[in-house]
Amino acid sequence: MRFKLLLFSLLSIGIGYAQKQPFTPAQLFKNEKTNLLQALPTIRDWADDSHYLLVKNEKEYSVDVKTGQESEFRLKGGWTIHPPMSALTGEGGQNPTFSPDGKWLAFTRDSKNLYLKDLTQYQEKQLTTDGSETVYNGYAAWLYWEEVLGRSTQHKAFWWSPDSKYLAFMRFDETRVPVFPIAGATGQHGYLERQRYPKPGDPNPLVKMAIVEVATGKMVWADYNANADHYFGTPFWTPDSKALWMQWKSRGQDTLKLVAIHPETGNKTELVSETQKTWVDWLSDVHFVKDGKHFIRMSDESGWMHLYLHTMDGKLKNPITSGNYTVTGVSHVDAKNGLVYFTARKENSARIDLYKVKLDGKGIQRLTFGEFSHQVQVSPGGSYFITTYSNLQTPAKMALLDKNGKLIRELGDAKGTGFDKFTVARTELVRVPTADGFQLPVVIKYPANYDPGKRYPVMISIYGGPNAGRVYDRWSYSPQEQWYAQEGLLQVGIDHRGSGHFGKAGQNFMHRNLGKWEMEDYQTAVKWLVDKGLADPKKVAITGGSYGGYVTALALTRGADVFTHGIANFGVMDWQLYDTEYTERFMDTPAENPEGYKESSVLTYADRLKGTLRIVHGTMDDNVHMQNSIQLVDQLENLGKHFEFMVYPGARHGFGTTAKGKHAQAETARFIYRYLLEKPFPTEVWP
């Protein structure tokens, strides 16, 4: 009887599995309805501590956390309507930003000078007059936009004080920065862009910080040598507007100082100084405690990113968190009850959870639940939070919880009614051991009809830069990946020791020798895949863009005994050809580390190429110049090596969803079908 029941159970499972169906090209690529997934609620933010904002049917509603009752939302005092930004700023206006009190508008014009507009009288005031082709006020030089302030700033380099009385801004002078020519090939004669771009060892932009008193126009400069070779990071105004806290970093980037600037005099007072043997990263934020007496700083100087409590004069009071895990951010600080709500990769380095802990570091408590990765939105007073949670096997869900982690209600589930009808490729996270004790996280998406007795061609997609891991235990779905799974491709992601899973202690391995440990760890993971009978050792492909393009080209040369195929998209082929701030942070200058630059260069290993390498680059890439790929092409040609080269005229860094991007995607598919799958190319998927 027991045998019959077991047999019936197994047959039932087999029938259920057999009833599942593969996806058609139309379902994956032509938006034919499947009901596989559905949208989660769109929760924009919190209105207050007990109401969240729900966007629905192009309207916004305030939802009561206790009752779930919805009411159409309006800002207190009604909507504030301003004229179009173009009318406020005039021709050439950039980054218009209202003062906190709404009475002023700050903006730059033509990337050169900084302006104010009095919105009570609509009078314009020009704050600077020395802007030129190489001098920019309030508008970031390329290096600062890309590496320091961030792309999301759109070059904005000015900051309002909370009381609207002051406006701080950076002034950039690129006169000494070398020019890199970027050639445009359109038209009969073409044209030339002249980009100010410092490469390792070159002069950087000279930067100064000014503070303007809005009412009077009085301007003071922060007390720094205007010709000093250093960096300034994103500044932070104190909540009372009595000081601008600046970040200063040495050119060598091993020392970071937090310095308070007096807005009326420009005088500075050092608050915190941190030095590491490798490099120090910028502070993404400073969290001021509402008692007005303390602030919280994040630092990885212990080898792991943690929280530290300081008094307002900079003195360290105590660590708030500690241990071999990474804190990813502060979600809320409850000064009244002495609590900090923060996110961390603590239970599992591939997952993020929400925790709370006392300011003295005691009583840490996990608030999120299960074996999931959580993305949280904490209410302004810390009484509630909303989490969007998932893992590799479970589509995202959304839930509302109180400050103790008690579930109030489920808000949504991305799993659609048709999910169980289809054969969705199984995805798994494993840990691969290295000889020196690391457990490398590897995510594997198996072929849809996986046969344990068969080896499969493998495609590894990577980025690979320091603290830029891609392996997480959270739901991820793309039609393209599902299609390749149905076609029999083993798709893999690997994070090395410097990817962030092992804290700053792991990242430090990469200091002065980019490329070495990426190759060591990636090869270890591939050999594990081969040893386990998963991967066909004759079809091990790798691809990535930017830093991933660098790693791909390095894999086909330095790692040629393991990797057989690769598509290197717009990669850095020699670190002497990239910019100062990013490269020197990890490598120091070529004069200081000549051997490291040589050993990290793809050009050094060009003679080892024996697999199939495709090099891809846009001709007008202003981030990773096509010079990188051209120098590798030149080297390979001189060595008589076979390779493929795809050029995208006029394309910048990355191709996105443009016609060039669609072409690149199709050509990648042709590469996979020709060399890995050895099947006819499906023109119904990629015309």
The Cα 201–Cα 546 span in angstroms is 21
Q: What is the pTM of this model?
A: 0.94
DSSP state of 672: I
Residue 590 pLDDT: 98
Neighbours of 66 (CB within 10 A): 11
Neighbours of 342 (CB within 10 A): 27
The Cα 340–Cα 671 span in angstroms is 50
The Cα 585–Cα 281 span in angstroms is 9
DSSP state of 21: B
**Chain Cα centroid distance, residue 46:** 24
The answer to whether 460 and 540 have CB atoms below 8 angstroms apart is yes
Provide the token pair at 436: 């020196």
Q: What is the DSSP string of 594-649?
A: HHHHHHH-GGGGGGG--SEEEEEEETT-SSS-THHHHHHHHHHHHTT---EEEEET
Place of tokens 């010079």: 627
Residue 350 pLDDT: 98
The Cα 574–Cα 605 span in angstroms is 11
Neighbours of 590 (CB within 10 A): 17
The Cα 319–Cα 240 span in angstroms is 25
The Cα 73–Cα 472 span in angstroms is 36
Residue 3 pLDDT: 39
- Sign of the alpha-carbon dihedral angle for 585, 586, 591, 597: negative
The Cα 74–Cα 318 span in angstroms is 42
The answer to whether 433 and 414 have CB atoms below 8 angstroms apart is no
- Sign of the alpha-carbon dihedral angle for 203, 209, 210, 214: positive
CA distances from 312 to 261, 274, 315, 337, 391 (A): 13, 17, 7, 19, 40
Residue 79 pLDDT: 38
Please state the φ and ψ torsions of residue 392, each to the nearest 5 degrees. -60, -25
The answer to whether 644 and 556 have CB atoms below 8 angstroms apart is no
The answer to whether 445 and 481 have CB atoms below 8 angstroms apart is yes
Q: What is the mean pLDDT of each run of 10 residues along the chain (687 residues)?
A: 40 50 94 95 96 94 96 63 61 93 96 95 94 98 98 97 98 98 95 97 98 96 96 98 98 98 98 98 97 97 98 98 98 97 98 98 97 98 97 98 97 97 97 98 97 97 96 96 97 98 98 98 98 98 98 98 98 98 98 98 98 98 98 98 97 90 95 97 85
SS3 78: coil
Neighbours of 144 (CB within 10 A): 25
Residue 2 pLDDT: 42
Residue 377 pLDDT: 97
Residue 8 pLDDT: 39
The answer to whether 257 and 283 have CB atoms below 8 angstroms apart is no
SS3 572: coil
The Cα 681–Cα 687 span in angstroms is 10
**Chain Cα centroid distance, residue 593:** 28
Which helix (H) or strand (E) element contains residue 637? helix 627-638
Residue 86 pLDDT: 61
Give every CB contact of residue 521 below 8 A, 6+ residues apart in sequence: 434, 438, 440, 494, 496, 497
Provide the token pair at 385: 């939070």
Residue 684 pLDDT: 85
Residue 80 pLDDT: 42
